[in-house]
């Protein structure tokens, strides 16, 4: 036989190679689909986290503003008492820092 003729084992290898290439292409496509889905899921979760953080930040700002307003109101209604409290806190803080 000549070198150009195909043997049955050559045909089997060619068929096996084609099947393997098809399986590799299918696996590559499946991996690409999985990566795309994972990216979408991660983006969705990040967006949810950003929204939750923004909500928490807005709540914290609102509470801080409320506390500030209450403190200012208290100081305006009780200036001497507020001054005494501030002096007491300063005195205690000075004692604590002096010990170090």
Is a pLDDT exceeding 70 seen at residue 2?
no
40: containing domain:
8-99
pTM: 0.52
Residue 12 falls within a domain, yes or no? yes
Structure tokens at 100: 């170090």
Residue 1 falls within a domain, yes or no? no
For residue 48, what is the enclosing H or E element? Answer: helix 8-77
CA 73 – CA 77 distance, rounded (Å): 6
- Average pLDDT (79-86) is 94
CB neighbours of 6 closer than 8 A, spacing ≥ 6?
Answer: 14
User: How many helices (H) and strands (E) would you count in the chain?
Assistant: 2, 0
CA 17 – CA 24 distance, rounded (Å): 10
Residue 35 falls within a domain, yes or no? yes
Using alpha carbons only, what angle is made at residue 58 by residues 55 and 64, rounded to the nearest 5 degrees?
A: 140
- Average pLDDT (85-95) is 95
Residue 2 falls within a domain, yes or no? no
Position 6 scores a pLDDT of 59
Is a pLDDT exceeding 60 seen at residue 82?
yes
Is a pLDDT exceeding 60 seen at residue 80?
yes
Q: pLDDT tier at 86 (50, 70, 90 boundaries)?
A: very high
- Give me the number of domains the chain comprises: 1
CA 67 – CA 7 distance, rounded (Å): 89
Question: 3-56 pLDDT, tens per residue?
Answer: 556 576 777 888 888 889 999 999 999 999 999 999 999 999 999 999 999 999
């Amino acid at each position: 036989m000549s070198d150009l003729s195909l043997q049955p084992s050559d045909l089997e290898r060619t068929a096996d190679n084609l099947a393997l290439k098809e399986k590799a292409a299918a696996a590559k496509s499946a991996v690409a689909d999985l990566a795309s889905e994972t990216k979408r899921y991660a983006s969705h979760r990040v967006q949810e986290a950003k929204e939750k953080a923004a909500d928490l930040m807005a709540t914290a700002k609102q509470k801080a503003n409320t506390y500030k307003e209450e403190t200012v109101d208290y100081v305006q209604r009780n200036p001497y008492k507020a001054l005494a409290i501030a002096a007491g806190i300063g005195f205690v803080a000075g004692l604590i820092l002096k010990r170090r």
